[in-house]
Every structure is written in C-alpha cells, then in structure tokens.
C-alpha cells in the first residue's frame, strides 16, 4: 500500500523554529493535512494544503509542499511549550504517518 | 457542542470476551471511520462508512466488525478479542470524502486485552 513517513521525535528549545517533515507516495493526493494530538486527546486538524499550492502560511504555521519529491513540511515559528504534542501528516484518503513527537524545552 | 463521543475511555478485558466500543457524532456527518493507534505505527484505519448501511474495510480489519444502522452511530465490535488488539482506538467523522474535509476525532478508547 501507499506509505506516509515521518521521523518519530523532534526536540527544540522554546522560541526556536520547529520543522517537521513528511514524505508520501500517493501522487494523486489532492489534499495533504497536518493534525495535532495533545496528550490524552484525539487528533485535531491543524492545517491542510491543496496539491496545486507549494506554500501555505497561517500565523505561526508554514506548510511547504514539494510535489515533485512528494515531501511535505510543517514549520512552527517561535515554538512554545504548548506546542508539545504529536504531529501527524496525512494524505488525501486519510492515510496517516506514524506521528512526530515534538518536545519543547524551556 | 459538535463532537464525536466514544465510550468507554478505558477498557480492560480478557481474551475471547466479546466487546463493543460505541461511537456517536452529532454533526450529521456522512463519513465515519475507526482507527487504531500503536506506537511507531501511527493511525491505521480499521473500517469506514460512507453512509448508513455502507461499510468498507480499511487497512487492518481482521478481528473487527462494524455496523452503521443510523447516521450518528458507528459501533466497533470485537467478537473474540485477542492480546494483539490491545491498542488505543479512535473514532472519527467527516462531512464527506474526496479531500478538503476535516476529520473530527473522538477522545479515544484505551483497550487492554489480557
């Protein structure tokens, strides 16, 4: 089947930028998503990007899409301790990556 | 409040004892889905439903059953649970499919099968 891959862990200092990367294999995906899971909770949609875009910015979040390389990234500017969570990349038919656990150190 | 409600939040059972995890949504969504979350594997889809009386297998359907008799409810049934079904389960719903639709998740059910 098609795979969505992410690194499992990322640790940054408060105030730094975080970049979470994702690769996918289904080139027909029209939408790609980032979901956030806080401890003890379900996933919540953070942002999404349409496949004909290469960048989307929403406040502290920037999504970059390289369709040729099937690479998606999520950049969080000025990362705060409240951003500590697991971040999931998902492609159009809701196939999810394994999730990247972001730890923000004060 | 718009939400997806799963029950129970925690469940400990023994091998072979049938159980049902309930899922209900109050947003009149057509699409509902079940996932299991395991460390290092992320979310894997078990079953999904595009509408009432329409269900389809996801990536890991073995050992599970579902039903969709009403639009709001989508229970997950384990007829004979086994220890490898110990996992964190999530129900989700969406207004539709085909892209651009947000999945709304329940809070999860942590199942332990002894």
Q: How does pLDDT run across A50-94, given as a tens digit for each residue?
A: 988 999 999 999 999 999 999 999 999 999 999 999 999 998 767
Q: Is residue A35 over pLDDT 80?
A: yes
Residue A2 above 60 pLDDT? no
Q: Which residue of B lies nearest to A2 if distances are taken between CA atoms?
A: B59
State residue B16 phi and psi, 5-degree precision. 90, -10
CB contact under 8 A, B59 and A1: yes
The answer to whether the CB of A73 falls within 8 A of the CB of A17 is no
CB contact under 8 A, B42 and A99: yes
Q: Which pLDDT value is given to residue A1? A: 45
Contact B109, B87 (CB under 8 A): no
Q: Which of A96, A104, A83 is nearest to A22 (CA)?
A: A96
Question: What's the rounded Cα separation, in Å, for the pair A39 and B38?
Answer: 14
CA angle B60, A24, B64 (to 5 degrees): 10
Q: Are B102 and A45 an interchain contact pair (Cβ–Cβ within 8 Å)? A: yes
CA B21 – CA B25 distance, rounded (Å): 14
User: pLDDT, tens digit, for every residue of B26-46?
Assistant: 999 999 999 999 988 889 999
Instruction: Indicate left, alpha or beta for B108 from its phi (over 0: left) and psi (-120 to 50: alpha).
Output: left
Contact flag A42-B40 (C-beta cutoff 8 Å) = no
Give CA–CA dist A89/B69, Å, rounded.
31
Give the nearest chain A residue to B96 (CA atoms). Answer: A93
pLDDT over 80 (residue B104): yes
Q: Look at residue A93 in the predicted model and tell me its pLDDT.
A: 66
Min CA distance, A49 vs chain B (Å)? 9
Interface contact B2, partner A, CB < 8 A: no
Contact yes or no for A98 and B103 at CB 8 A? no
């Amino acid at each position: 089947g098609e795979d969505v891959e992410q690194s499992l862990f990322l640790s940054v200092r408060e105030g730094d930028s975080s970049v979470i990367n994702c690769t996918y294999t289904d080139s027909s995906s029209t939408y790609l998503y980032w979901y956030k899971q806080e401890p003890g909770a379900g996933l919540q949609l953070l942002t999404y990007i349409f496949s004909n875009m290469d960048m989307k910015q929403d406040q502290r979040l920037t999504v970059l899409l390289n369709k040729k390389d099937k690479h998606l990234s999520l950049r969080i500017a000025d990362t705060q301790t409240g951003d500590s969570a697991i971040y999931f990349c998902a492609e159009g038919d809701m196939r999810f990556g394994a999730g990247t656990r972001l730890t923000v150190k004060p | 409040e718009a939400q997806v409600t799963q029950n129970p939040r925690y469940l400990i059972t023994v091998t072979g004892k049938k159980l049902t995890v309930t899922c209900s949504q109050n947003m009149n969504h057509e699409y509902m889905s079940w996932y299991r979350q395991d460390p290092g594997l992320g979310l894997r889809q078990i079953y999904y439903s595009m509408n009432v009386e329409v269900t389809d297998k996801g990536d890991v359907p073995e050992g599970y059953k579902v039903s969709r008799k009403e639009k709001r409810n989508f229970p997950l049934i384990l007829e004979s649970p086994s220890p490898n079904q110990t996992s964190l389960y999530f129900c989700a719903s969406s207004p539709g499919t085909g892209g651009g639709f947000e999945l709304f998740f329940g809070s999860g059910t942590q199942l332990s099968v002894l």
